[in-house]
A = this chain, B = another copy of it.
Amino acid sequence: MKHSSPLPPGSARFTDRFLAPRIARNRAVTIPSAVRKCEETGRFAAFDLKWKPGMPDKPHIYWDSDVAKVLEGMANMLAYEPDAGLEKQADELIDRIVAAQQPDGYLNTYFTVVEPEKRWQSLFDCHELYCAGHLTEAAVAYFEATGKRKFLDAMCRYIDYIAQVFGRGENQIHGYPGHEELELALIRLYRVTGEKRYLDLCSYFIEERGREPSYFHKENPLVNLWNLQAEKTVRQMTEVTGHAVRAMYLYCGMTDLALETDDKELLAVCERLWQNFISKRMYITGGAGSNHWGETFTHDYDLPNTQGYSESCASIGLCFWAMRLLNGTGKSCYADILEQTLFNGALSGLSSSGDKFFYSNQLEVTSSMYEVGHYSRHRQPWFDTSCCPTSYCRFLGQLSRFCFSESSDGVDIHIPVAAEVKSRCGFAFGIESDYPWDGKVKITVKSDGSYRLGIRVPGWCRDPQIRVNGEAVQQITSCTVIARQWHKGDTVWCDFPMSVELCRCSNMVYGNAGKVALKRGPVIYAFEECDNGRPLSRLLIDPAGEFTVEKSEIDGIFFASVKGAALEESFEDTGKLYFSGEASFAAKTFTAVPYALWGNRGGTDMSVWMREKH
């Protein structure tokens, strides 16, 4: 059933001015700063298993996952570009991790030194299987990057032990992950090892989930099953529910399992969940999860702007899910949401400098906003629960997976960012473009041979044109396939004209009624105080006005800003909060910048949804 595979990091070298600087900064800034934080906080040292009660830096149940994600980030960067220094650092860290493995294969710092008697006792909230999942993903990524088996073999031993402990057998624990992640990691492990037992364990975890009587309720009768996607079996699910990151990781695992086992029913469940998500519960930026109590999904159409949440990890998780559905089904509608998420809500959590992060990504912030916990309008260098910074470490090295797919006979270009591509089948080409800021794309073939070149035509594009060696392609579809004998120097020109669109929202979302969001190509724009003053709520966008696009950059990251016509509302200043005066309006030019780049230039107020002049 599977159509294609995501293109691995080593097969594409980005040459663009938007993603490439972020990838370079991942190596130079993001990963090193995470390494430093892991050292400072004791996360690395936890693997030495020397902690004793009363000592500082007591290991935490999440910590292993943070270290694993940094390591996966190193692995992805090594796959992207060899780097002896980084590989040495990774090898040393792997030695330290593998040394913590217990004789039975178990590998978890917290439950080895802090509460060894509680191993597997609290699956619903102790992240034990979640940490195992991230360690497994890191081991697979490191094997794929370097061919070195030490970490992979250790993790196979750990998973083999987990497979003894968990299952439907009489002496096995009938539980499953409280925070999903291991499911999708098992598929990755199955794919590199070919060992069907890892697929079977994944299948057990996914199918056991939500069965009655609830395993989690045996652990604690007060557990909120809805929050954990465990209130029903996965095949009964019709709505995206609960903790948004857990949900995304579960749906990834379900999609993987459906594709590996050719399970059309399970794939249909995934596509049904996807439909519920994109038509009722997704922010226009690809943000997922409305609620900062519990970081969860809530109800259809509950998408508050200021009080929203949209955890960075959830949008990154959405990219992972969309990538799986795209490669599994070949439907370009998944690429539409994938790029909309990638260029907006997934990258907005990372500062232009590469070392500060949003945990939550609201669509409107103001100086009045009440910040609490991770719900903040200020980027932070680290968090106590530091999943988001470490998610960027592993995300940035594998951007090729979201932009391109490969199959035995060719390559699909989903997102035509400038890059040099060479697939495993031998097809090589270069892409020149300023995508996502410009829809003009030139592809120059660099290898002779008979290959299939798939070109996704973006769903937002109204008048796409494709020419091969100057000759127009007549039949352009959402995935236009050009299968032919290619010669070095052949060129494919694509033109996906971009215009500024005013997006409206169902008025079931009360807060967006009467408002528009600016979109150009896949990019959602934000209005910032530093460009437009405040309150931004006094600006009314003129839909009949002309828009002009200007090329600009922030900290070396290139982008297009949009200027246009607005009216600025004002009232006679009575000093009163409530009054009955009439508004007056003055013409004004606004400037909007890509949502992914907001919050890098000072100021506080920002808004995506703006009032519309009637």
Partner-B contacts on A (CB < 8 A): 278-280, 282, 284, 290-291, 293, 298-302, 304, 306-307, 364, 366-370, 372, 501-511, 513-514, 517, 535-538, 540, 569, 571, 575-581, 583, 607, 611, 613-614
A585 vs chain B, min Cβ distance (A): 10
Which residues of B lie under 8 Å from residue A579 when comparing CB positions? 503-504
Q: Give complex CA distance A293, B372 in Å.
A: 9
Closest chain B residue to A511 by CB distance? B511
Q: Give complex CA distance A304, B517 in Å.
A: 20
> Quick check: B505 and A282 within 8 Å, CB to CB?
no
Q: Give complex CA distance A290, B368 in Å.
A: 11
Q: Give complex CA distance A613, B510 in Å.
A: 16
Which residues of B lie under 8 Å from residue A514 when comparing CB positions? 514, 537, 540, 569, 611
A-B contact pairs, 28 of them (CB 8 A): A278-B577, A279-B576, A280-B577, A282-B577, A290-B370, A291-B370, A298-B368, A298-B370, A299-B368, A299-B370, A301-B366, A301-B367, A302-B369, A304-B307, A306-B510, A306-B511, A503-B579, A503-B580, A504-B571, A504-B581, A506-B578, A507-B538, A508-B537, A509-B577, A510-B537, A513-B537, A514-B569, A514-B611
> Quick check: B302 and A304 within 8 Å, CB to CB?
no
> Quick check: A577 and B279 within 8 Å, CB to CB?
yes
Which residues of B lie under 8 Å from residue A513 when comparing CB positions? 535, 537-538, 569, 611
Copies of this chain assembled into the complex: 2
Which residues of B lie under 8 Å from residue A509 when comparing CB positions? 368, 537, 577
> Quick check: B507 and A537 within 8 Å, CB to CB?
yes
> Quick check: B502 and A580 within 8 Å, CB to CB?
yes
Which residues of B lie under 8 Å from residue A503 when comparing CB positions? 578-580
Q: Give complex CA distance A607, B513 in Å.
A: 13
Which residues of B lie under 8 Å from residue A302 when comparing CB positions? 366, 368-370
Which residues of B lie under 8 Å from residue A307 when comparing CB positions? 304, 306-307
> Quick check: A578 and B537 within 8 Å, CB to CB?
no
> Quick check: B368 and A577 within 8 Å, CB to CB?
no
In the complex with contacts A307-B304, A579-B503, A508-B372 CB distance below 8 A: no
> Quick check: A583 and B504 within 8 Å, CB to CB?
yes
A201 vs chain B, min Cβ distance (A): 35
Which residues of B lie under 8 Å from residue A501 when comparing CB positions? 580
A54 vs chain B, min Cβ distance (A): 20
Which residues of B lie under 8 Å from residue A284 when comparing CB positions? 577-578
User: Which label, helix, strand, loop or mixed, suits the secondary structure of the A interface?
Assistant: loop
> Quick check: B506 and A577 within 8 Å, CB to CB?
yes
In the complex with contacts A304-B307, A577-B505, A510-B293 CB distance below 8 A: no
User: Which 7 pairs, one residue from A and one from B, show the smallest C-beta to C-beta distance?
Assistant: A513-B537, A302-B368, A298-B370, A510-B537, A301-B368, A299-B368, A507-B537
Which residues of B lie under 8 Å from residue A580 when comparing CB positions? 501-504
Q: Give complex CA distance A506, B611 in Å.
A: 15
Closest chain B residue to A299 by CB distance? B368
A238 vs chain B, min Cβ distance (A): 16
Q: Give complex CA distance A306, B303 in Å.
A: 11
Q: Give complex CA distance A306, B298 in Å.
A: 14
Q: Give complex CA distance A535, B284 in Å.
A: 20
5 more A-B residue pairs beyond the given contacts A284-B578, A298-B370, with a C-beta to C-beta distance below 8 A:
A291-B370, A299-B367, A299-B370, A503-B578, A503-B580
Q: Give complex CA distance A278, B364 in Å.
A: 25
> Quick check: A368 and B571 within 8 Å, CB to CB?
no
Q: Give complex CA distance A306, B290 in Å.
A: 13
Q: Give complex CA distance A514, B535 in Å.
A: 13
Q: Give complex CA distance A462, B421 in Å.
A: 75
A195 vs chain B, min Cβ distance (A): 42
A90 vs chain B, min Cβ distance (A): 39
Closest chain B residue to A372 by CB distance? B293
Q: Give complex CA distance A279, B368 in Å.
A: 14
Which residues of B lie under 8 Å from residue A366 when comparing CB positions? 301-302, 510
> Quick check: B299 and A369 within 8 Å, CB to CB?
yes
Q: Give complex CA distance A368, B301 in Å.
A: 6
Which residues of B lie under 8 Å from residue A611 when comparing CB positions? 513-514
> Quick check: A364 and B510 within 8 Å, CB to CB?
yes
Which residues of B lie under 8 Å from residue A536 when comparing CB positions? 510
> Quick check: B507 and A569 within 8 Å, CB to CB?
yes
A79 vs chain B, min Cβ distance (A): 35
Which residues of B lie under 8 Å from residue A505 when comparing CB positions? 577-578
Which residues of B lie under 8 Å from residue A502 when comparing CB positions? 580
> Quick check: B511 and A535 within 8 Å, CB to CB?
no
A570 vs chain B, min Cβ distance (A): 9
Q: Give complex CA distance A306, B304 in Å.
A: 9
Interface centre among A368, A505, A535, A577 (most CB of B within 10 A): A577
Closest chain B residue to A516 by CB distance? B580
